[in-house]
Amino acid sequence: MTYDTLPAAAEPPGDTVVYIVDDDEGVRQSLAALLLARGYTVRAFEAGEAFLAQAALDQPGCVLLDLRMEGLSGLQVFHELGQRHSALKTVFLSAHGELSSAVAAVKQGAVDWLEKPCNEATLLAAVEKASTLSQAQARQAQRLQQLRERWDALSPRQQEVAQLVATGISSKEVARALAQRDPDRPIDPRTVDTHRSAIFLKLDIRSSHELGMLVEDLGVALGAPRPA
């Protein structure tokens, strides 16, 4: 595989790993040399089976994946990554005549596909795109995990109050809604205010609007209660 020359690129994201999965040794070597020169960490595999067994699938990064290989095909490896909820993002490498398979792969979630031989600029742009997307999704997943842990630290009663406060209603309306839901457990609006303060502190937020976005992100939002 040959490449057009390209001026020095910007520094890649720190600690970005690019996996090369291709049964052509020449392709693996040339791609590895190019990416190493650009500052990426590179791991190359001859077969999809070895890649799936040894790669850190739960960490962000990019996979340059050949469509047609001995053993597992690139599409089979790609589907297995999906089954394992891998954080890696895939760029397919396809030979002439494999366009329909490559396009189908992109529709199924691959970041891009490149036809061999591809030029240096196109390849590096695809790797940067995949790596950036993978890193962003990993950060979002980490953020949601942190929010979930904070939410789980609330008491059941605080979670009930939080879901109602998130709709933007007043403490008096929250108290009324809770009493309607469970007449045996009435609550005073001042107690709602106490819960509200504790909820904001535990969730590290400052407003009902922030709380509304948080419960939406966690999938625990309620519709606004109907007026009494």
Residue whose C-alpha is closest to residue 194's, from 165, 223, 168: 165
* CATH number, domain 153-218: 1.10.10.10
Show the tokens assigned to 47: 């077969």
Cα of first residue to Cα of last residue in the chain, in angstroms, is 72
Asked whether residue 104 carries a pLDDT value surpassing 80, the answer given is: no
CATH top class, domain 17-141: alpha beta
pTM flag (> 0.75) = no
Name 89's bridge partners. 62
* CA 19 vs CA 6, 16, 59: distances in Å: 22, 10, 12
The phi, psi pair for 222, rounded to 5°, reads -110, 155
Strands 88-94 and 112-115: parallel
Instruction: Please report where in the chains the tokens 């052509």 appear, as a residue.
Output: 24
Comparing 68-82, 108-122, 159-173, the range with the smallest average pLDDT is 108-122
**Res. 221 pLDDT band, cuts 50 70 90:** confident
How does pLDDT run across 9-61, given as a tens digit for each residue? 444 445 789 999 999 999 999 999 999 999 999 999 999 999 999 999 999 99
> Where along the chain do its domains lie?
17-141, 153-218
* CA 191 vs CA 175, 178, 186, 211: distances in Å: 9, 12, 10, 18
